[in-house]
Structure 1
Amino acid sequence: MNFASVRMITDDVDRLVELYENVTGVSAERPAPVFAEFALPSCTLAIGHTQTTQLFGADSALGAHNRTVILEFRVADVEAEYVRLKAVVEDWVKEPTTIPWGNRSMLFRDPDGNLLNFFQPVTEDAMKRFSGRS
């Protein structure tokens, strides 16, 4: 089994697409105005409008209400990403800091309040943990 994608549901697809194009450096594929996908090397990040949830059942999702998931992106240089994104991100949660399990990490929220973590393994143990992963 392969983890294929994460889909976020929102009332404003265009607003999230704009931020995630800036964050990922990847242009979204837009097969429909209510749907976008970012094909990243390790996974696909999808964004769907709340109108699309009816396709999955009445109680399948509510846009912009999830506070239990952190989208995590491993990056080569957290400090450089912080400088690059400082003008784009409006809601910073934590500036770059080293966390106890050995990652250098920064956290911020997208316009819907979803939490994003950009991290870089910096200790020997953390680098070992991530060796061989995409």
Structure 2
Amino acid sequence: MKLGEVCLETNDVIKIADFYRKILKISSECKDEIHQTIITEGTTLTVYNNGSIKNNQNQNISLAFTVDDVDEEYIRLLSLGVNIINKPKVQPWGARNMHFCDPDGNHVYFRSFPK
């Protein structure tokens, strides 16, 4: 068995989808207000609005993306206006992480591992 999809439910599909495409360097012209697929290979990442109001108090989930160089990504995300919560630092398990939130308050981590 493998994880097939992570879906972020939101009140504003376009806003959240655009945020993830910007930080993940993915281009798309999709403007669907109900459902958008961000990552299509491996475990997919989708954004969805099922018509119910979301409270955006997402305190029990986080997304982590492995990048080549978290320090380079830190500089790039700052230039995009992303509010970084924790600057890159080495964690006890060996990853170098930085932490920020998407516009809905979902916790997002970019991480890299020493070569």
Q: TM-score band, normalised by the shorter chain?
A: 0.7 to 0.9
* Higher RCO (CA < 8 A, seq sep 6+): 2
- Partner deviation per Cα, 1:2-36 (whole Å, 9 max, x = no partner): 21111011111111111101111123584943111
* Counterpart for residue 116 of structure 1: 108
Counterpart check, 1:72 vs 2:64: yes
Contact 2:96 2:112 in 1 (8 A): yes
CA distance in 2, matches of 1:110, 1:82: 15
Question: Greater helix share, 1 or 2?
Answer: 1
Contact 1:108 1:117 in 2 (8 A): yes
Counterpart check, 1:24 vs 2:16: no
- Partner deviation per Cα, 1:17-64 (whole Å, 9 max, x = no partner): 11101111123584943111112544211101141x6xxxxxxx9452
Once the 2 structures are TM-superposed, how far is the Cα of residue 91 of structure 1 from its aligned partner?
2.7
Aligned pair count reads: 115
CA distance in 2, matches of 1:15, 1:50: 15
- TM (normalized to structure 1)? 0.75
Q: Which 5+ residue runs of structure 2 have no aligned equivalent?
A: none
Counterpart check, 1:84 vs 2:76: yes
- TM (normalized to structure 2)? 0.86
Over aligned residues, Cα RMSD in angstroms?
2.2
